[in-house]
Each structure stands twice: as structure tokens, then as C-alpha cells.
Amino acid sequence: MSTTSTSKAPEDPPTVEASSQPAAQLPGESPQPKRVLFISALAFGQLGLFIALFAPIMIGMSVKAGELAQSDTELTTIVGNVLGYGAIGAFLGNSIFGRLSDRSRSRFGMRRPYMISGVAIMVVAFFLIAVASNVWMLAAAWFVAQFGANAAYGPFTATLADQLPEKQYARVSAVLGIMQNIAIFLATWISSLLSTNTLAMFMAPALVGALAIVMYALVLPDKVQRHGEPEPFRLGVLLRTFWVNPIKHPDFGFAWLSRLFVITANMLFVTFRFPYVMNRLDVPRADVPGIVSQGVLWYTISLIISGFAAGWLSDRLGRRKVFVFASSAIFAIGTYLLLHIDTVEQFYLVEALIGVGYGIYMAIDLALVLQILPNPEDRGKDLGVFNIANALPSSFAPFIGAGLLTVATTAGAPNYDLLLTTAALAALAGACAILPIKKVR
């Protein structure tokens, strides 16, 4: 690492340099608009990493659990518990390494070392998942995989604030949202295609995710902080960073609660989609990956179309609450309808309906939140608090779902009636939580 020139006056502000060819802006200077290459690499990074993370959730973990389980009930218990432990790793990795990258003084950049190291850990952990011979090894490996992937993803998302001017926030965020939902479909398709080869089923998505992040890291004009000492890293400071007083800011609190309920409903469905198809639709086990993949395709198509349409209409009308309420209600209805279907064709129709509801919700809810952030100068911190409502359900919903499925039924089968009714009520609660918000129409 080079030293600064002695001719510079002591009172001069510290400079921030880039670790690659494009020059990074000085402190206080607005970032320059990013071109197609950068945005394409960013979008591919999002797509690849979410393919890696969703492939086990959608199909891979259920297939692996089936190799270890002795019954259908044990399979759902393994899936719920393993995914729940992994979500804890995701929350820790994202929170800790996002903050550590802010403090980094590496000559390779603030974010790049964590991004590359994180996906390297993820790839090794995915191999251990594929060869796991017992549930404890499977759970530990998935925890490490999620921890590593999110050690990369925390710094990855921080680069948006580093690199993008405000006038590109909405457009780039929309692209990333689309990539995330396309990743769900591609993850399902890849896992379905490779479901007969456990090693390939886990390693192919992991390598795609690692390649995508490394490619973005190479394109990224990452900043290098060369001056000053970072503030001491204390747990108390970290915890206070991720807190907004819901009594002082009730609109934000209600929006946070709505997101918590809706994401919980979604995770209760998504986590157990594979065993639901296998147990409730009475199809051969070998056909389940293909049916799940086709269902996710209809879900994704309707989600993208409804999201774009709702976003355009919401901006035209200047209204948010009615869209968020209606979308949560649609999601609740679709989830409840899963209790009353008995054919694959009906499953596809309900998947499309759920996609409509979730697409509208994801398109409008963030726009609503951006209008009620407590402090315009702390938007990044406040959005970090809001994102906790995304992370928490990933941690506890699989545990709750696994417990609900084990509640006794007359036939001794997994209790999907209780699971899906709970998911529908959670989505409906998310709809109702929007109503008290006052600052947004």
C-alpha cells in the first residue's frame, strides 16, 4: 500500500481512491451514473447468488432430506430445521460483514475481499451439504453456506450506496428485484434437472453464484480507504444501528410489521412447496421436481407482469396502501386455496394467483416504505432495519412450519391444513397492518 505525499496539507480532507481503473468519487461527491457494463455485472451477481441460495430451498434440501429421512413427517422436520438454522447464519453473515466492510482498509477495496471470500466459503459448504451423511452435518454445512453467502451479499448490497447516484436507485433496484425472482425459477429448474445427481444438484448452483459474484467484483470500481482509523467494533453499536423506535415512528412500525407477516406467510409456503406437492397431490416422487419447477414458472411470470403493472398504476394514481392491502389479501386467498385443490393443473393456477399477489406486494411495499422513512439522512440504516423483517421469517418460519406439520392428523400425515391456514392468516394480518399508516395514501 502506497503512502500519501508529505506535501499535502494536514488539514486536507482524506481522499478515497479506487482499486480498479474507474476512479472513485471523493467524500461528499455524488457518484457518477453507471453504464450498462456495471449494471449488467451487478444484475448477474444478484441473479447468480440467488440461484445458489434458492436451489436448496426450492428442491435440493427436500431431495437431500429424503435420502436421510425414514418417513414423510421426518422429511418435513429435517427440511424445516435445517433451513431455519441456515437462516440464522444468513442474518449473522449479512449484518456482521456488511458493517465490517464499512471499516475495511484493505488495498483490494472495501467490499471486494469480503465478497470473494464469502462465496468461496459458500462453495466449500455446498460440497459438504452434498456429501452429508447425517442431519447434523447437513444443518452445520447449510449454516456455514448461508453465513458465507451473506458475508458476500452484505458488502454486495452496500456497493449500491457506494456506486450509484440517487437518480439510478429506482431503476437499478427494479432490475435487481426482477433478477431475484428470475433466480427463483432458474434455481428450481436447475435443481429439477439435476435432482438425480446430488453432488451436481448442489455444486452447479454454487459455482454459478460464485462466478457471478467474482465477475462483479472484478468490474467493481471498489473504494480503498487509506486514511484514518475505523471506529472500534462493538456489539452495542452494531445493535443500536439496527433499531427504529416504533412508538416514535408508528407508520414505519406498521409497515415493518406488515412485511414481517407477509414474508412469514411466503416462507411457510415456499419452504414446504416440494413436500406439499409430493404428499397432497399424490404424484410419483420422480415427477415432483418437474411439477414444482413448472409451478414456479407460472408463479414467476405472473409475479413479473403484476409487479410492473402495479408499479406503473400506483405511480399514476399516487396511491400505495390500497395496492399493498389488496396484494396481501390476494396472497392469503391463494394460500388458502391450496387446501382445496387435488390436481396438478389446479396447483399451477393457484401458483399463478399467489404470484400476482406477491408481485404487487413486492413492487409497491418498498415504494410505500421509502415515503415513510423516519430520517432522510439515515435511509441506509432505516432500510437495514426494514430488511430485518425479511430476514427474521427465514429464520423462524421453517421451525414454525415444521412444528405445525407434526401436529397430529387422523391419517398421521403432515398437517398441511394447519400450515397453510396459518400462512393465509399471516398474510391477512400483513394486509391489516397497513391500514393504520397515515403518511401515505
pLDDT at 351: 92
pLDDT at position 216, please?
92
Q: Are residues 84 and 204 in the same domain?
A: yes
On whether both 274 and 233 belong to a single domain, the answer is no
Domain boundary among 206, 241, 276: 241
Q: Is residue 27 part of a domain?
A: no
**One domain, residues 68 and 143:** yes
Around 134, how many Cα atoms within 13 Å sit in the side-chain half-sphere? 2
Query: In terms of Cα–Cα distance, which of 11, 439, 63, 60 is closest to 254?
Result: 439
Question: CB atoms < 10 A from the CB of 120, how many?
Answer: 16
**Same domain membership, residue 341 and residue 220:** no
User: Do the Cβ atoms of 288 and 274 come closer than 8 Å?
Assistant: yes
Determine the Cα–Cα distance for residues 208 and 288; give it in Å rounded to an integer: 24
pLDDT of residue 382: 61
Question: Which of 241, 256, 291 lies at the terminal end of a domain, its last residue?
Answer: 241
**Same domain flag for 184 and 275:** no
Task: Give the CATH number of the domain where residue 386 resides.
Answer: 1.20.1250.20
Residue 16 lies in a domain: no
At residue 234, the pLDDT reads 65
Asked if residue 167 and residue 91 are part of one domain, the reply reads: yes
Domain ranges, residue 307: 244-441
Residue 343 lies in a domain: yes
Domain count, the chain: 2
Instruction: Write down the pLDDT at residue 85.
Output: 81
Q: Which residue has the cell 449488467?
A: 40
- Give the pLDDT confidence score for residue 364 in this predicted structure: 75
Question: What residues pair up with 16 in beta bridges, in sequence order?
Answer: 225
Task: Please report where in the chains the cell 418437474 appears, as a residue.
Answer: 290
Q: Tell me, what DSSP letter sits at residue 17?
A: E
Same domain for 325 and 400, yes or no, is: yes
**Are residues 275 and 142 both part of a single domain?**
no
Residue 7 lies in a domain: no
Q: Are 256 and 328 found together in one domain? A: yes
Q: Which residues are bridge partners to 438 per DSSP? A: none
pTM: 0.67
The one-letter code for the residue type at 136 is W
Instruction: Please state, as a whole number, how many other Cβ atoms lie within 10 Å of the Cβ of residue 333.
Output: 16
320 within 8 A of 440, measured Cβ to Cβ: yes
Per the domain annotation, does 194 fall within a domain? yes
In what helix (H) or strand (E) does residue 224 lie, and over which residues does it extend? strand 223-225
User: Domain boundary residue among 241, 267, 301?
Assistant: 241
Does the residue 20 lie in any domain? no
| 255 within a domain of the structure (yes/no) | yes
Residue 353 pLDDT: 94
Together in a domain, 291 and 341: yes
Residue 230: the pLDDT is 58
Q: Is residue 54 part of a domain?
A: yes
Consecutive 10-residue runs of the chain (441 residues): their mean pLDDT?
40 43 46 78 91 84 81 78 80 73 70 90 93 89 91 80 64 70 84 86 93 92 66 62 71 86 88 84 82 86 82 76 88 92 91 89 72 60 66 76 78 82 92 84 73
Query: Same domain for 283 and 165?
Result: no
Residue 128: CB partners within 8 Å, gap ≥ 6? 137, 140, 141, 144
Shared domain for 79 and 94, answered yes or no, is yes
**What is the model's pLDDT at position 12?**
44
